Amino acid sequence: MDTVHGAIIFYSVDDARDVADFYREYIRSAPEEFGAFLDVAPVAGSMVRPMPYPELNVASDELQPRGLQAYWKANFLSELGDGAINAYLDFGRMVPSVQTSVHIYPINGAVQRIGAEDTAFPYRHANFSPVIACMWSDPADNESNIKWVRDFWTALRPFSEPGGYINFMDADDLGRITDNYSANYSRLAELKAKYDPGNLFHINQNIKPAHGPTLSTYHYDETRK
């Protein structure tokens, strides 16, 4: 399929509660062909039409030029409950930059028909995969923007699963690697020991080999340019 019916719709933050309540109820029984993530922002218009999928995939590229500072955090949510929605409302009113987005992806449907130990990905019971993706241009804002992300993430922790989607993790989430893979981590570490015992492929959210030395340690920078 090379054409999809795509839409980008922005709502006022004043309507965020109504939008969130509708979204969590509608997405429970929406057709699997329908994919939507929740992202509330000030009114800026809407666009709904058939389009090539690659066009939808790059729709926000102009807002994210090369050279931006960036810091991300993520968890899984079993449900989008009132406590989590309240955290989104509180911190959504303090979004620090126009490039920042906070998405809540639904991951039910086909994802949940595969066993938790059948692949590396264990959180088959989770219904939502949120990410706080903060991006900004001025390095002078690094400290305050990173704090906003961490405070937001901390507010969501009581309602979240221990791990999050690995591609949404930032460099200082390396300590959460076992939570991200849960019961599958030990099996993945054994595979790592078999195929990469020296940990050559380590510039990532690293699974260390179950046995043997590694080539180097992971280097962490607060921001990436």
pLDDT of residue 48: 83
Q: Token match 């809540």: residue?
A: 104
Please state, as a whole number, how many other Cβ atoms lie within 10 Å of the Cβ of residue 166: 17
The predicted pLDDT at position 7 comes to 82
Q: What is the pLDDT of residue 214?
A: 45
Tell me, what DSSP letter sits at residue 114?
S
Q: Which pair of structure tokens corresponds to residue 127?
A: 């219904």
Distance CA(69)–CA(139), nearest Å, equals 7
Q: CB–CB of 74/129 below 8 Å? A: yes
Alpha-carbon span 145 to 68, nearest angstrom: 12
pTM of the predicted model as reported, rounded to 2 decimal places: 0.83
Q: Give the chain's residues under pLDDT 50.
A: 214-225
What is the pLDDT, as a whole number, of residue 44?
67
What pLDDT does 79 receive? 94
Whether 132 and 96 have beta carbons less than 8 Å apart is answered as: no
> Domains of the chain, with CATH numbers?
3-58+66-179 (3.40.462.20)
Residue-level pLDDT at 29: 87
C-alpha–C-alpha distance, residues 99 and 135, integer Å: 5
